[in-house]
Amino acid sequence: MFPAWVWKMIALIDYGMGNLLSVYKALEHVGGNVEMVEKPADIVRADGVILPGVGNFGDGMEHLQSRGLADAVHQAIRRGKPFLGICLGMQMLMESSEEAPGVEGLGVFKGQVVRFPKGTEKVPHMGWNSISVRQSCPCLANVRDNSFFYFVHSYYVRTDDPSVVAASCTYIVDFAAALGQGNVFATQFHPEKSQNSGLAILKSFVDLVGDGSKKA
């Protein structure tokens, strides 16, 4: 007889943007029971939800809205399901983005997404950089301060509420590398590409889904 948590399902939202296979394989590697889902009902029935993504903010929101997935995301979060946003998935949790003026984000967190200012460093921010842990989130429980993660982005989150910043990073400016509040956790970096430190985050998320915790 398998323990009950083995059957807890994590919905990996497929809305037509980004390569989900690397996220899927990383979650399987750390013991997650993962399904790539395209329908709102599959998000609602899941025990945990992951919104990944790369690309343009406006395109991402259009894909979510046109497929009825945005409402399902809100419903999952309201029900207290452990929720993880990755890269564009984190940015779309904000209210808006300079990348797509006039397009509303999911509005889970207050604030907007802005482009890195011109400086001596290249944009996009691409490669390995260390993070500074700001608050104790279960998803960061097994991550050491100043651990390195893999980033690929030209825009970053500027939140109206500093208390939701779970980890920060410095590249041209100080920015939010991760957000955490209640059952929602999100990363600007790619945990699935960040070797052991990234796998530690995904394992912690899988464990949260397994034990039914409502805080990510």
Q: Which of 99, 125, 139, 192 is catalytic?
A: 192
Is residue 192 annotated as a catalytic residue, yes or no?
Answer: yes
How far lies 104's CA from each of 81, 89, 110, 175, in Å? 23, 14, 12, 21
Q: Which of 63, 87, 99, 137 is catalytic?
A: 87
Q: Are 155 and 98 in contact (CB under 8 A)?
A: yes
Is residue 139 annotated as a catalytic residue, yes or no?
Answer: no
The whole-angstrom separation of Cα 47 and Cα 212 is: 8
**Torsion angles phi and psi, residue 179, rounded to 5:** -120, 150
How far lies 195's CA from each of 14, 67, 143, 147, in Å? 23, 32, 12, 11
Q: Which of 63, 125, 153, 190 is catalytic?
A: 190
Nearest-5° angle of CA 29, CA 45, CA 139? 45
Residues marked active site are found at: 87, 190, 192
